[in-house]
Amino acid sequence: MNKPIRKAVLPVAGLGTRFLPATKAVPKEMLTIVDRPIIQYVVDEARAGGIEHIVFVTGRNKQVIEDHFDIAYELEDTLRTRNKTAALELLEKHRPQPGSTSFTRQQAPLGLGHAIWCARDIIGDEPFAILLPDVIIKSQVSCLKQMVDLYEHTGGNIIAVEEVPEDQTHNYGIVELSDRIAANASRISNMVEKPAPGTAPSNLMITGRYILQPEIFDLLSSQDTGAGGEIQLTDSMLSMMKGQHFASLKFEGRSYDCGNKAGFLSANIAFGMDDPKLAEQLVPFMEEMIKQPLAAE
């Protein structure tokens, strides 16, 4: 029987330089998509996937993330006094249960692999999930829940993937597949980080969602630095692939890379359209904006 996936690691130590000056004092994970911080969407996905404990790997100037998931006594007391029941219930809904979060510090920017390694003692000897907080996924069923469902049948390690245009594969980590194990899942035989144009083994990119076995920590602890002089998670996964099963899941849904401005703005529009009242105002505005360049011509 496969050990359950109870814990997840969210690496949130990045500087967010693509969004300066907005991220000079505000962590990029706290930038909002409609009315929620990016990080809240990722935490909600983890919870919907059955995660019981979330480990945030933070850096300096990230205290506000911890505060976001804590009680805001003055605010909540004011809402209670003023009978703002709906707002109070909304805050309580998004607050983690006591003891269900941990925060550990990545003291130097040594790469994603190093950030995951920083959570080793909290995760312990059990499989765990990784959710990269730059990526939020819009789906009917939580992407992580889809991954956990596959894991319960296959065990091993699971990586979420989705299709990208062939001429864009050089911008992503791409998986190479062998035999199919389910309608939307296949065994992974190799992973290539940003392959040269025309050399990608598939058009399936790694989306930023993983289920990994704890042996990854031993590999990360001895992993040489890779691209950019950082400890790369992909390098250790490739080493682990020699002895463990890795599967891809082509999940149902769409990801938005909120680590870049276009993805961030696209996510705001996509999630904003879910609110009928907002959609009623957004659609005429977007139609007007689309026509403007044409009229200028």
Q: What is the CATH number of the domain that holds 213?
A: 3.90.550.10
**Domain contains 189:** no
At 183 the pLDDT is 86
At 295, is the pLDDT very low, low, confident or very high (cuts 50, 70, 90)?
low
Question: How many Å apart are CA 108 and CA 270, to the nearest integer?
Answer: 35
**Can you say whether the dihedral through the CA atoms of 75, 76, 80, 83 is positive or negative?**
positive
Query: What domain range includes position 125?
Result: 7-157+207-259
**Domain contains 181:** no
Q: List, for residues 190-240, the tens digit of each pLDDT value.
A: 998 888 888 999 999 999 999 999 999 999 988 777 666 778 899 999 999
**Domain contains 243:** yes
Mean pLDDT value of segment 239-268? 94
| Three-state secondary-structure class, residue 212 | strand
- Tell me, rounded to whole angstroms, the distance of Cα 101 from its chain centroid: 16
Q: List, for residues 38-95, the tens digit of each pLDDT value.
A: 999 999 999 999 999 999 999 888 889 999 998 888 998 898 999 999 998 888 888 8
Question: How many Å apart are CA 102 and CA 33, to the nearest integer?
Answer: 24
Strands, E assignment, 86-172? 101-105, 128-131, 135-138, 157-163
1 HSE (CA, 13 A, CB side): 3
- Tell me, rounded to whole angstroms, the distance of Cα 25 from its chain centroid: 22
**Domain contains 231:** yes
How many domains would you assign to the chain? Answer: 1
At 182 the pLDDT is 85
At 120 the pLDDT is 95
CA dihedral 269, 270, 275, 280 (to 10 degrees): 50
Of 32 and 94, which is predicted with more confidence?
32
At 288 the pLDDT is 86
**Domain contains 172:** no
Whether the Cβ atoms of residue 157 and residue 246 lie closer than 8 Å to each other: yes
Prediction pTM value? 0.91
Question: How many Å apart are CA 56 and CA 133, to the nearest integer?
Answer: 10
At 23, is the pLDDT very low, low, confident or very high (cuts 50, 70, 90)?
confident
Q: Are strands 7-11 and 128-131 parallel, antiparallel or unpaired?
A: parallel
